[in-house]
A and B are shown apart, each in its own frame.
Chain A
Amino acid sequence: MSGRLLLKGGRVIDPGRSLDADLDLLLVDGQVAELDVRVAARGAEVVDMAGLVVCPGFIDLHTHLREPGREDKETIATGTRAAAAGGFTAVCAMPNTEPVNDQAGITRAILETARREGAARVWPIGAITRGSRGEELAEYGDLREAGCVAVSDDGRPVASARVMRRALEYAKAFDLTVIDHCEEPTLAQGASMNEGPVATRLGLRGAPGVAEAMVVERDVMLAELTASKVHIAHASTAAAVDAVRRGKARGVRVSAEATPHHLLLTDEAVRTSEYDTATKMNPPLRAEEDRQALLQGLRDGAIDCIATDHAPHTVDDKKVEYDQAAFGIVGLETAVALCLDRLVAPGLLGLARLIELLSTRPAALLGLPGGTLAPGSPADVTVLDLARRAKVDPARFLSKGRNTPFGGWTLRGAPVMTIVGGRIVFGTRR
């Protein structure tokens, strides 16, 4: 990328360097060149950032781009445009495509398409096991070399403790983090929501919270045994947060993410929406005490980052009976605004902490470029307008997916500009 862009007079927050000040930010040839109280334009295009928050680009550790194979649900082009519109400069693409990203050739194809058509950066995640079937390990060396930044069988748990142990051990050779979708399959079988009083009232089969927590406990123990790195995808229960917290306290290399929907909604939403399938995802929306524990985890560091689990589906996949509907909701275009309005504005979370959860930590966890505005780092920048008020309108999403429970919510605070490699991929100059 070439060109010079000067972001003038914004409130720059870079949590990795404990920075929060009104500064000018100069981006040159795809890198951060200068960050100072006053930077001369010297021929750069100048964008006025007065009143806006300038932060290191947000990175989503958990995105389903669906390409290859399910381009009816999403493509790399539409998914990354949605990411850019939602303030994300990079997304980590889960491998449960068709075919599963369990081979270097598929990884390279994804990266090639992303280079050609992507609005945001794409970091592919390879499969833990071939076909994500939970049996034989995928070729981590090849996957890493082709560009995978982690491995995961997301969408499915690694049911076998033995396979999980081997994955954690083998991943160490290539410095890959194993991201696990924690769910004991025999307990969660056939479930379409959280087990508990609400599921009982609705007559829907529920998955108990312990189906997640016992696998988190297992993974923490196995990470300890193998001295390897495990990342807990979409933690949703109080017991899972607690297991991660205890693991960290004794030095286990475990990290965890939480999604905006688990932070903001509970299983009551299934009831109040009268079985709206936009409330169906896996892990399911949990109880209020679980939600509170996730919020606490964000504050005390048990939870490392916020990830969307962006899971686009077609209308047909969702416009059916509740127990037949596909799991998952879109998140890229709502996550940041939801967090600003529902977590930062009411004081549940500081703004700098939110940026840390969306940028600094995700970059650090997987060793990705970015997550900072230090000179020399990639010119990936997210710009926020804390005063901007907008109504969530699924019809206007850039994602192909419209499946969200947040339609109609009015949110204050929004991403207004996204810059990837020094190029404005979303937003307009003022």
Chain B
Amino acid sequence: MTPPSYPHRHLLGIEPLEPAHIQAVLDTAEALREVLDRPIKKVPALRGKTVVNLFYEPSTRTRASFEIAEKVLSADSLSIATSTSSVQKGETLLDTAKNLEAMNPDMIVLRHSASGAPHFLARHCRSAIVNAGDGAHEHPTQALLDALTLRQKKGRLEGLRVAIIGDVMHSRVARSNVWLLTKMGASVVLCAPPTLMPPGIETLASVTYRIEEAVEGADAIMMLRLQQERMTGGYFPTVREYHARFGLTAERARRAGKDVVILHPGPMNRGVEIASEVADGPYSVILDQVTNGVAVRMAVLYLLLGGAET
């Protein structure tokens, strides 16, 4: 396979990517996904490469997904999960990364609560850096797996109308998806209570406070997780009202286009941002997202670690 062109050393976000680079990752993921259906799910593409998964925030899906992708591609990998609160009492992020680097890894996959943490590492480290989610900034592999899922289900990204609904303010998933979808020619409408809509976001996508308006005629609906600490943060009066006014119910989902697909990056709060009957319903592609997550991360690893040489 001739690898498509991906000229970057790191994957820090979707914002700096050109459409052709996004295309390259998606095409590579498409090609590599076949490996996951084989009886023996292993190719030697990254044999001899070392990847460190450095997770400063809890994560089930993203970490497992990276780990599986690394194993399928035969990379040697290790995962370090640590609490972000160690800054005061323990080692700094930079010291941790430098110590890991002394063991000569080829790549660090970083999940961190501070926006810009991957850029900070990229500036001070030799390894290739993959952003596995930084603060409220970006979560590029999530947007890529969402795009791969949409492309499979809809056959295209261009011209799609996508509604992104929920806590946009604190969501790195929303930001990465806004960049990716608008770069690929889709139109995005964001919906949240005004208290959870980040100032100035209207320069990047259209905005509504009415969920009915957002889902009307949508080809895809992406629901965002409402984090626990936001539920009591004074952003809205009660979880009950949040669900009543901004939750995706079956009735609201029916306003969308007839072949709408419904995505959620997980983990879901059933009965808060999404009703169970929608999450488990026929339009939900939530589990396809998870499978595609492995394929997309394989593609990112492959493109960044120069798998073409093997």
Contacts and interface: CB of A to CB of B under 8 A. Distances in A.
Given A196-B199, A208-B199, A320 B123 contact: no
Contact of B203 (A197, A208, A274, A319): A197
A321 B203 contact: no
Contacts of B172: 203
Given A274-B119, A321-B117, A203 B203 contact: no
A204 B203 contact: no
B175 interface: yes
Contacts of B79: none
A324 B119 CA distance: 14
A36 B294 CA distance: 82
B235 interface: no
Interface string A198-218: 111111111010000000000
Nearest to A319: B94
A202 B200 contact: no
Contacts of A202: 115-116, 137
Contact of A321 (B120, B198, B204): B120
Contact of B115 (A195, A275, A316): A275
B88 to A, nearest CB: 9
B199 A320 contact: no
B94 A203 contact: no
Q: Which of B116, B124, B175, B198 has the most CB of A within 10 A?
A: B116
A323 B119 CA distance: 13
Contacts of A275: 115-116, 119-120
Nearest to A204: B115
Interface string B122-139: 011000000000111110
A58 interface: no
Interface of B is mostly: mixed
Contact of B116 (A196, A206, A319, A321): A321
B112 interface: yes
B15 interface: yes
Interface string A88-129: 000000000000000000000000000000000000000000
A327 interface: no
A426 interface: no
Nearest to A200: B198
B94 A323 contact: no
Interface residues of A, number: 22
B12 to A, nearest CB: 8
A324 B136 CA distance: 15
B114 interface: yes
A140 interface: no
A204 B204 contact: no
B222 to A, nearest CB: 17
Interface in A277-332: 316, 319-324
Contacts of A200: 175, 198-201, 204
Nearest to B134: A203
Interface string B201-225: 1011000000000000000000000
A324 B116 contact: no
Given A274-B123, A324-B114, A204 B87 contact: no
Given A201-B15, A274-B119, A275-B120, A323 B135 contact: yes
Contact of B120 (A195, A197, A322): A322
A201 B92 contact: no
Nearest to A205: B136
A296 to B, nearest CB: 24
Given A202-B115, A203-B172, A322-B120, A195 B199 contact: yes
B63 to A, nearest CB: 20
Contacts of A321: 87, 93, 112, 114, 116-117, 120
Interface in A1-31: none
Contacts of B204: 197, 200-201
A413 B119 CA distance: 34
Interface in B241-289: none
A323 B200 contact: no
20 contacts: A195-B199, A197-B201, A197-B204, A199-B198, A199-B200, A200-B200, A202-B115, A203-B115, A203-B134, A204-B136, A208-B199, A275-B116, A275-B120, A316-B92, A319-B94, A320-B92, A321-B117, A323-B116, A324-B87, A324-B114
CB-based closest 4 A-B pairs: A197-B200, A203-B137, A275-B116, A321-B114
Given A275-B119, A316-B92, A322-B120, 12 more contacts: A198-B200, A199-B200, A200-B198, A201-B204, A203-B172, A275-B115, A320-B92, A320-B120, A322-B115, A323-B116, A324-B87, A324-B114
